[in-house]
Structure 1
Amino acid sequence: MQAPSLVLSRLDLLAAAPNVGGLMALCEENYGALLRLAPALPGLHGRLRSQPEGRAELLLTMVEQSPYTSTLRLTHLLPAAGASGQPAAGQQPSRPPHSEPDALLRAYHDAEQVEVLSLRQTVLPILSHYERPALAAKWRANLFVSKWLGYCLREGHGFPSSAGATLAGEPLELLSSP
């Protein structure tokens, strides 16, 4: 089991209201985790996938690259379940994979931070859009992304460290921004 992050180990997540400094530290931590997942992030293009044996597929789609930022969509593609919960052996699922969580992220390479632009997930009760108070909503979204990135790393996911690698084959359909 991975030790709690430095930021999360210093915070009592239930006792104190989030503050701007804590949010910025969490965004920096998320940037570090994202770079461990995709070391060549500033130069990546296209769609990339990671699927360690026996694990759900993780898809990274580069939306936009600029000299100082990368905008990307990170999505877990969960297999579609049949009536019994799993497709029969040797059969393709009849429905497309379910994409959840599905996050649109912007990485600021000069500031070494990740901003959650949108997040769609149903596992944890957080807001999928920013409402008042915005700081608390951003905190919950970034905390979810922090936990998710840690999970992806523990599961063995990773994207090529070569900036020229892209996903070959048919483009996969992703859900639009929430």
Structure 2
Amino acid sequence: MAKVSLLNKSFCLQNICETNYRKLFSLIPNLKSIDASAQGFSDGKPMLHMKILEQSPYTKTIQLSYFFENDAEALLEPAVKIRLYFDVCIAEVLRDYKRVEVSNAIGDISLSTDIMNYKWRLNYFLEKWLDHCLKADYTFVSDNIAA
């Protein structure tokens, strides 16, 4: 899906971000209380790794990725950076391992269609990936949980 061709792009983007928020909490039920990181396990599937990058009372920024390990190195891909907004129940993708953050991708803020298409691609990818992870029935174990 290269471009958004919907009539009300901002409404559809909001809906996908709301859906991704619910899916993230279905995948990682105690996400709000995790303080540092957590790992997701599913039989025959690569481990999922979730790391807290930043948190405040109303937001939390996480990185969600598969964890691939071989003899030489550990590889985290797709390394999706997601900001969760607890007050409005939205999860918005800020970047992935191949693309820069939205704020750096489109320098001219008057290009709202380009910005919307960029955000749509990132968040649509997350929606489909979360569907895949939920079907794989991952169970998350946290390194530590906030009190």
Superposed pair shares fold, TM > 0.5: yes
Sort the Cα spacing of 1:15 and 1:105 in 2 relative to 1 into closer, same or farther, 3 A: closer
Question: Identity of counterpart residues, as a percentage?
Answer: 29
The count of aligned residue pairs is: 133
Q: Which residue of 1 aligns with 2:29?
A: 39
Sort the Cα spacing of 1:134 and 1:44 in 2 relative to 1 into closer, same or farther, 3 A: same
- Say whether the 8 Å CA contact 1:18–1:139 is kept in structure 2: no
Q: Deviations over 1:83-106 (max 9, x none)?
A: xxxxxxxxxx32223221111111
Q: Which has the higher strand share?
A: 2
What are the ranges of 5 or more consecutive residues in structure 2 without an aligned counterpart?
A: none
What are the ranges of 5 or more consecutive residues in structure 1 without an aligned counterpart?
A: 1-12, 80-92, 122-126, 168-178
- With normalisation by structure 1, the TM-score equals 0.67
Rg larger in structure: 1
Residue 46 (structure 2) pairs with residue 56 (structure 1): yes
What is the CA-CA distance between 1:65 and the residue it aligns to? 2.3
Match of 1:159, SS state, is strand
- Say whether the 8 Å CA contact 2:18–2:90 is kept in structure 1: yes
Q: Which residue of 1 aligns with 2:72?
A: 95
Q: Distance in 1 between matches of 2:64 and 2:116?
A: 22
Q: Distance in 2 between matches of 1:105 and 1:15?
A: 24
- With normalisation by structure 2, the TM-score equals 0.80
What is the CA-CA distance between 1:158 and the residue it aligns to? 3.1
Q: Distance in 1 between matches of 2:121 and 2:95?
A: 12
Residue 128 (structure 2) pairs with residue 147 (structure 1): yes
- State the one-letter code of the partner of 1:159: F
Q: Distance in 2 between matches of 1:22 and 1:140?
A: 12
Q: Deviations over 1:55-106 (max 9, x none)?
A: 1010011122222111111011134xxxxxxxxxxxxx32223221111111
What is the CA-CA distance between 1:24 and the residue it aligns to? 0.3
Q: 1:138 aligns with which of 119, 123, 126?
A: 119
Runs of 4+ in 1 over 2 A off after TM superposition: 13-18, 127-132
Q: Which has the higher helix share?
A: 2
